[in-house]
Amino acid sequence: MARFFMLNTGAQMPSVGLGTYQADPGVVGEAVASAIKVGYRHIDCARIYGNEKEIGLSLKKLFDDGVVKREDLFITSKLWCDSHAPEDVAEEINSTLRDLQLDYVDLYLIHCPFRLKKGTSLRAENLIQPDIPSTWSAMEKLYDSGKARAIGVSNFSTKKLEDLLSIARIPPAVNQVECHPIWQQTKLRSFCQSKGVHLSGYSPLGSPGTKWIEGNVLANSVVTEVAEKLGKTAAQVALRWGIQFGHSVLPKSIKESRIHENFDVFDWSIPDDLFAKFSTIQQARLMGGDFIVNPQGLYKSVEELWDGEI
């Protein structure tokens, strides 16, 4: 079973990464240390999560103690929506590298295709017209400099990714999006495969307990039925489904037992007859984005926000 996926840069991206969204300071460093000791080699970070400094301290200790080498890890971070201006892009990655205590990240993503006024919160009235070509040009300079070994995007629809590919000097290596058995991203997945862009799935368990996503993937009847038949947990089945479907998965947990459980997805598989049942699941995007939709604003509907992919 593939423990890695090959990116269009030639780099190998581990198929399971630890998500760090809503992992509070005080616990996230311990979660990262636990994950790396279990065998995780991919840590998914973002400046907006507010915990990169603690993750950096944890990584430094792991390096100093000889637990793992920097070159054996794959570290992702992301450019937040209020820093799309080309002059802000280099400043943002420098801040991330300083906090993480690293010379480079393995992957740097535009966190969202929408843009906020500098220093404002994620609300409809703070949105301004994005200029993805200008932002991407600044991202390409980060790749040229070596500060980002690969560059990509997150939350891009098929249309937005197609538009970017039409102007990019360096094509995005990854599109990180919501992906799980209840939202399988069929159209986007097919497009990504055709263009050599790796699809990476955040919220692979549906992110129970987070404020942006509502829905319980782990209670889905197909997921629970397959789990029961295979003697696995629903979480393991949801993660294994993603890897078998061909994308990396980024489960988030701060509990050591769950971190361990979520990594136990390599020495077994979902048989074809059970895997086929996933195609019968009714699809629903769980992160709608209503919080940035306004009939008088930049995005007037959820349909417009996601270019009809809902």
CA-closest candidate to residue 33, choices 260, 208, 234, 188:
260
Amino acid at 7: L
Pairwise CA distance, residues 260 & 240, whole Å:
14
Q: Which residues contact 30 (CB under 8 A, 6 or more apart)?
A: 58, 254
Say if CB 254 and CB 209 are below 8 A apart. no
List beta partners, residue 105: 148
CA-closest candidate to residue 185, choices 199, 173, 171, 206:
199
Q: Do the annotations mark residue 198 as ligand-binding?
A: no
- Please identify which of the residues 49, 104, 108, 299 carries the catalytic annotation: 49
| Rg value, the chain, Cα | 19
Question: What was the pLDDT predicted at 29?
Answer: 95
Write down the residue that tokens 């919220």 correspond to: 203
Amino acid at 135: T
Question: What was the pLDDT predicted at 310?
Answer: 82
List beta partners, residue 5: 13
Pairwise CA distance, residues 159 & 287, whole Å:
18
Say if CB 30 and CB 254 are below 8 A apart. yes
Pairwise CA distance, residues 57 & 32, whole Å:
10
**What confidence tens digit (pLDDT) does each residue in 187-234 have?**
999 999 999 999 999 999 986 555 445 568 999 999 999 999 999 999
**What confidence tens digit (pLDDT) does each residue in 228-257 have?**
999 999 999 999 999 999 999 999 999 999
Give 13's DSSP letter: E
Long-range Cβ pairs for the range 149-152 (8 Å, 24+): 149/9, 149/11, 149/104, 149/105, 149/106, 149/107, 150/7, 150/9, 150/11, 150/106, 150/107, 150/108, 150/174, 151/107, 151/108, 151/109, 152/107, 152/108, 152/109, 152/110, 152/176, 152/197, 152/198
Residues of the chain with pLDDT under 50: 211-212
Cα end-to-end span (Å), the chain: 31
Write down the residue that tokens 């782990």 correspond to: 218
Active-site residue flag, 299: no
Helices (H) and strands (E) in the chain, counts: 11, 12
Longest dimension (CA), the chain: 55
Q: Which residues contact 155 (CB under 8 A, 6 or more apart)?
A: 111, 112, 113, 176, 177, 178
What is the DSSP pairing of strand 115-116 with strand 127-128? Answer: antiparallel
